[in-house]
Structure 1
Amino acid sequence: MIVVIFATALLILALVTWGGVIALQRIYPARGVMIDVTGATLNVVDIGPRGGQPVVLIHGASSNLEAMRKPLGDRLAEKHRVILIDRPGHGWSSRARREDSTPEAQGRMIEEALAKLDVGRAILVVHSWSGALGARMALDFPQRIAGLVMLAPVAYPWRGGVGWYNELVTMPVIGPLLAYTITLPLGLFLTAPGARNVFLPQIMPDDFVRESATPLLLRPREFLANARDLVTLKAAVAEQAPLYAEIKVPTVVISGDVDKTVSTNIHSRPFASAVPGAKLIVLEGIGHMIQNGAPDVVVCEIDAMIEAQARGTAVAADYWSGQDSQVQVTHDASPHDASGRPYHPPL
């Protein structure tokens, strides 16, 4: 009798999940074009005027391209060509193999998509999990990356894990069983509180969960892909971290000094020290969601990098080598360098 009750409960939860997936995909339809690459099909949104330096925006874990679109993408698209990509397995992008969870594998897929779009050299802007991806692409495809802007990036191994639920859901049998039954109905109650925690100490915008299409994460195939990405990340950054000194593209790292999700001291500071000529901006009183908490600073740095590129290689190199390596920015966005002098990014 207990077995029958248990099996019935699982069947009911599976049907609820199936119906929930259909509902979520109607509420949050794909907003891009599908590009086939080796091992995946990527959803890509390509906006803004053609010509000039393109900007590629890549979201972090537990999200999709919409998390980068409103705070940065739409604004940058007023002047630049902007390409937003759902990482393989996230949003409306698919991937064929669970093994393709690493920054190296996903970077290869994204580079192939950019080649098919005839993008040329681009400014790559990455957040959180995708900090590791941005670093990997700068190493593997320097001919594609004109500049690298890292927002609260993951770059090094850290103490601890990535949450017991992510570890559990990557286990054979148990993981898919949970993902296809209880994850979606339970997650609908936990999505907003979880997002609020990532924003702290900033207040999450009331419309963030809806406008960022965050509930798409609760679909079984995406939840499994996201968990796999997180569980395999530490080993991936441990492998690539010794190579960071080989990164030669202009690099800016922007992080918050009160980020409780990705430690600035563990990741951003050592990464900026390892990459030759990298510039580190630490935002006072800002948490993990840099693109939402300080979009003006991010856009200013992207524009400055594009302007330096437009002046030519020699001028860009002179500009970059002359920058303060560390900049402290106050919560009211009044920036100062490490010595307290007013900081004005060259335009």
Structure 2
Amino acid sequence: MSLLLLCGAGLALNTYLWKRRAEQAVPPRGSFTRISTGRLHYLDVGAGPEILLIHGLGGQMGNFDCGLIDNLARDHRVIAIDRPGMGYSERPLTQPCAPDDTAALMFEIMDKLDIKAPLVVGHSLGGAIALAMAVQNAERLRGLALLAPLTLRAGRPAPVFDGMKIRSDFLRWLAAWTVATPAALRQASAVIDQVYGPEEMPPNAPIQGGAMLTLRPSHFYHSSRDYMQSGDGLEEMSRKYAGLTVPVRLLYGTEDRILDPQIHGAKLVGRHPQMGLKLVPGGHMLPLTQPVVCAEFIRDASEKMRGSLTIKRASPEVYR
């Protein structure tokens, strides 16, 4: 028993040292305010039509900050956030975090930061959150421009997330402070290959892209909870897509290894042809690997969605 406790203490100390190392390498880059879940870390730059950036599972605002934010901020007000629980934003340990729950927090953030009628850009799980926002209150949004989004409750989850399948909050917390960080370091090459492949991880991804923050125990804990609740309500939500009153456009990499573009892109648009889909060669992490392509896609969407806040039936050019 004493040996087990000693091993646990050693693992916890190792995790703490890596946590400190990650935080020193990637300090907060934005400002802080408070919302119902606690402290919120956000970046607010530029002027013009508003764009709200929502990152995906296990990410943080750095996922957009390897060229994309600076590009868009030339002619837009760009607001990037660490979603509650991720990066440097706080979230209670038992806070519900299904896409619908997080969407409600996004509206709270909009109120707090005085964001009116934004184009919402969601990457991966952030895409499901953006769609949930549109389902909840379309009148407050200008449109959606989604990057490799989770859209339907379909397809097998990528094996890279198997280690996050933990149902108990206590076991999740225990894993976060003991085995999660060593496992992340040991499996880094395989994870990078699946998340970024077939493209290479950009050299600025660990620091500027914030990837080192994945070594913090809070990151693992909240990512695991996000993963376990990511599909909650998604099937019911997808039944409401046909009635959306904001334009929706999607950008997908044809060789995405995390989410299947045929399911979450082509199948979705096949059901709802009023939506627009653009396919490009590449993988899942388009905001990091192809920031110029993403900026052009978002800027084009912003220009075409500059008109009225809601629509009964948009003309094709609004979507495509």
Alignment correspondent of 1:24 = 22
* Aligned residue type for 2:316: G
Alignment correspondent of 2:135 = 139
Task: Give the Cα–Cα distance (whole angstroms) in 1 for the partners of residues 112 and 180 of structure 2.
Answer: 36
| Secondary structure in 1 matching 2:142 | strand
Deviations 1:213-241 (A, max 9, x none): 21212222221110111111123312311
Task: Give the Cα–Cα distance (whole angstroms) in 1 for the partners of residues 187 and 66 of structure 2.
Answer: 23
After superposition, where does 1:81-160 map in structure 2 within 5 Å?
Answer: 81-160=77-156
Using the size of structure 2 for normalisation, the TM-score is 0.91
Alignment correspondent of 2:317 = 323
- Structure 1: tracts of 5 or more residues without a match: 326-344
Equivalent pair of 1:279/1:323 in contact (CA under 8 Å): no
After superposition, where does 1:222-261 map in structure 2 within 5 Å?
Answer: 222-261=219-258
Task: Give the Cα–Cα distance (whole angstroms) in 2 for the partners of residues 60 and 164 of structure 1.
Answer: 17
**How big is the shift at 1:151?**
0.8
Alignment correspondent of 1:179 = 176
Alignment correspondent of 2:10 = 12
> Who wins on radius of gyration, i.e. which is larger?
1
Equivalent pair of 2:98/2:229 in contact (CA under 8 Å): yes
- Structure 2: tracts of 5 or more residues without a match: none
How many aligned positions are there?
Answer: 318
Alignment correspondent of 1:212 = 209
Change (3 A) 1:298 1:172: closer
After superposition, where does 1:34-53 map in structure 2 within 5 Å?
Answer: 34-49=32-47, 52-53=48-49
Instruction: Quote the RMSD (CA, aligned, Å).
Output: 2.4
Deviations 1:17-72 (A, max 9, x none): 122222222221111222222234321100112xx311111111121110112241
Task: Give the Cα–Cα distance (whole angstroms) in 2 for the partners of residues 111 and 235 of structure 1.
Answer: 19
**How big is the shift at 1:280?**
0.9
Runs of 4+ in 1 over 4 A off after TM superposition: 316-320
Q: Does 1:313 align with 2:308?
A: yes
**How big is the shift at 1:158?**
2.5
**How big is the shift at 1:320?**
5.3
User: How many percent of aligned residue pairs carry the same amino acid?
Assistant: 27
Equivalent pair of 1:148/1:250 in contact (CA under 8 Å): yes
Task: Give the Cα–Cα distance (whole angstroms) in 2 for the partners of residues 123 and 192 of structure 1.
Answer: 35
Q: Does 1:271 align with 2:268?
A: yes
| Secondary structure in 1 matching 2:10 | helix
Deviations 1:127-153 (A, max 9, x none): 111111010011112122101001111
Task: Give the Cα–Cα distance (whole angstroms) in 2 for the partners of residues 122 and 250 of structure 1.
Answer: 12
